[in-house]
Each structure stands twice: as structure tokens, then as C-alpha cells.
Amino acid sequence: MTELLRVLGIDPGLAATGFGVVDGDGRAATVVTLGAIRTRAKDARAQRLAQISEFIGALIEEHRPQELAIEQQFVAHNVRSAFAIGEVRSAAMVAAATRGVDVFEYAPTAVKEAVTGYGAAPKEQVRHMVMVHLGLSEEPSPLDASDALAIALTRLAELPAEAALARTARVRGGAASADE
């Protein structure tokens, strides 16, 4: 009965941005495609951001995800690296929003919680559970792709609760709506 939702997960990085497209209904999920977008350190920052933006745009046009999921900006120890991640985040969000794809942002702890049930899980455990959830026989490569799949799974994990809320609203005779 439940329709499949197709989510593009993005793990942003200037040198390598992981991506993973996942279909799921909140119970089972399967990988559509995964990989990493690499840019060269010798190219100008604007060129690298444009390459990432165009690649994500092409991914969206090919695979038609309904939503994009990405980690929220966090305050890193290395501020320069945090700015670079923020710029890639922006390039990805713009590529989605300009194509009508809804963007969902999650804190790193929310991703760990959703995938492993434990908000402080080590990275290795998150990667292992990504394999389990997606029925993969080996760890996705590159690891950036695994992290992107974890973020897509975080979005899909919200679906059962959303469906339950929608059912409650129907039972109570109201339309499910977030507007006033």
C-alpha cells in the first residue's frame, strides 16, 4: 500500500562528495545508485563547486529522487574545512531546490540514531548498519557513498511515523496539513 519514496543522500566534501539514491517505504530500502563526486585541488573553488552542483543536477535529472537528504552544518574544529563543507552543502541544496526536489537536513547524531539506534555510534557501526539495512553483501565503496546512504536512510526512517500521523488525522476526520 505504501508508495516508495526515492531519496538522494549527499555527504558533502570539496575533494569528494558521496552520493546515494535509495528507494524505500520506511520498512525496506534498496540502492538505486551510489558513488562519489571528486574534484581536483588545483581547480578554483568556484569551478569545483560548479562541478559538484552540475553533477548533482544531472543525478537528479537521471534518477528523479523526490527528496534530497543532507547533514546539517556543524561547527568543526577546523573552521576552514567547515566552510568548504558548507559551500558544498549549499551547491547541493541549490541543485535540488532549483529542480523542485525537497531538501531535508539532519544533525549527525540524528543520522547515527536512525541507522544504528544509538546517537553516539562509531562511524564503523553506522557503515555496517547501512549494509544491513540495504541488504548489501559488502561495504559500499567509496566510504563517502556509505555515509550518503546513511543520510538517505535517515529520511526514510521517518516514513512510518509520518504515515501513522496521516492515518490518525484521517481517523479523526481531518486533513493532514501543516498549514494553519
For residue 43, indicate whether it is catalytic.
Answer: no
Task: Please pick, from the candidates 2, 33, 81, 98, the single residue that binds a second copy as defined by CB under 8 A.
Answer: 98
What distance in Å separates the CA atoms of residue 17 and residue 55, rounded to the nearest whole number?
10
What distance in Å separates the CA atoms of residue 54 and residue 64, rounded to the nearest whole number?
15
Q: How far is the CB of 101 from a second copy (least distance, A)?
A: 9
What distance in Å separates the CA atoms of residue 45 and residue 48, rounded to the nearest whole number?
5
Cβ atoms of residues 152 and 11 within 8 Å: no
Active-site residue, selected from the candidate residues 3, 11, 113, 158 = 11
What distance in Å separates the CA atoms of residue 163 and residue 149, rounded to the nearest whole number?
22
Angle formed at CA 117 by CA 162 and CA 119, multiple of 5 degrees:
105
Q: Does 15 bind a second copy (CB under 8 A)?
A: no
Q: Does 58 bind a second copy (CB under 8 A)?
A: no
For residue 25, indicate whether it is catalytic.
Answer: no
Q: Does 178 bind a second copy (CB under 8 A)?
A: no
| Sheet of 16-24, strands arranged across | 29-38, 16-24, 5-11, 67-71, 102-106
If DSSP codes are grouped into helix, strand and coil, which group holds residue 30?
strand
Task: Please pick, from the candidates 21, 29, 37, 49, the single residue that binds a second copy as defined by CB under 8 A.
Answer: 49
Q: Does 81 bind a second copy (CB under 8 A)?
A: no
Task: Please pick, from the candidates 94, 110, 136, 143, the single residue that binds a second copy as defined by CB under 8 A.
Answer: 94
Active-site residue, selected from the candidate residues 102, 144, 147, 180 = 144
The residues binding a second copy (CB under 8 A) are: 44-47, 49-50, 53-54, 68, 73, 75, 79, 82-83, 86-91, 93-94, 96-98, 103, 105
